Structure 1
Amino acid sequence: MPDILSIGQVAERTGLSIHTLRFYEREGILHSPVRRGAGGNRLYSEQDIEWLSLCMILRASDMPLAAIRRYTELVREGAGNEAERLALLRRHREYLINQMANLSECMDLINYKVGVYEDLIDEGAADHSCNREALPADGGPG
């Protein structure tokens, strides 16, 4: 039998808390039902770790648990539903593309504001006699 891991070992390997692992199990987003040992302890495999890694990436990319659950269900069902899996992933990819564009706009504004304040500080260091309080050079909100 392949390496069997306890819930504590899986938590250590994935960085997920034991509480989160139990939550994921309850939410039905694990690829396979968690096996139990003779004492009722949860037993995980390397395949479980790989699936959890995928789920962690999907969550980190802001995929809702309901969508991860649906994707998991589709994978469990096996061949024949690849078009639905593809559609689900394409929708999420489109969401990420939009988020990345929004974040890029945010970064542009923040970089601009950083430059404005760096210039103000550089000018202030060169002109110690300036004892006035000024609006930011860009005229925008401080």
Structure 2
Amino acid sequence: MNIAEVGRQYGLSTDTLHYYERIGLIPPVTRNKSGFRDYNKLDCAWVYFIKCMRTAGIPVKVLINYVALFQKGDRTRPIRKKILIEQRELLAKRIAEMQKTLEKLDLKIANYDTTFFEYEKKLAQEEIA
């Protein structure tokens, strides 16, 4: 599969795929006889993995470390697991914060035509005491 097809399949730009390969998030992709990238199943699995991790909010710097540890083999499994646990905890905190924000927004929407609209009018007139 060429880079444009992989980009479409995973919702990533070709620039992002080039970047991920350049910084070592995905191993060097095999090239065809013409020198173009020819993504195989393993390459695509790496793209999928990195996309999932980025979607979870894991920073690129953390992923670079994780992949470097992965490449060192099984002896780094405990460290990699610790990284995943730490990142999961951070994600859980972000989700909890977002849930609170969603609840506030739902309340504002539910009360928009009454109290919230009146509050906005006061804001517009700079009448907040």
Per the normalisation by structure 1, the TM-score is: 0.76
CA-CA distance at 1:135 after TM superposition: 2.7
Render the CA deviation track for 1:17-68: whole Å, top value 9, x for unaligned.
Answer: 11111111111100x3222222221121111112211111111121110111
Q: Please point out which of 23, 40, 44 is paired with 1:45.
A: 40
Partner of residue 49, structure 2: 54
Partner of residue 112, structure 1: 107
Partner of residue 78, structure 1: 73
Q: By percentage of residues, which structure has more helix?
A: 2
Distance 2:123 2:95 in 1: 25
Distance 2:30 2:44 in 1: 14
Letter paired with 1:100: I
Q: Tell me the SS of whatever aligns to 1:80.
A: helix
Q: Please point out which of 95, 102, 107 is paired with 2:97.
A: 102
Render the CA deviation track for 1:82-126: whole Å, top value 9, x for unaligned.
Answer: 1110111011001011101111111121111111114569xxxxx
Structure 2 residue 16 is matched with structure 1 residue 20: yes
Distance 1:118 1:72 in 2: 51
Distance 2:35 2:68 in 1: 25
Distance 2:56 2:123 in 1: 31
Greater Rg over alpha carbons, structure: 1
- CA 1:105 to 1:111, structure 2 compared with 1: closer, same or farther past 3 Å? same
Quote the RMSD (CA, aligned, Å).
2.3
Query: Is there any run of 5+ residues in structure 1 with no aligned partner, and where?
Result: 122-133
Aligned length: 123
Distance 1:35 1:107 in 2: 44
Bigger drift between 35-44 and 19-28 goes to 35-44
Distance 2:57 2:103 in 1: 22
Per the normalisation by structure 2, the TM-score is: 0.83
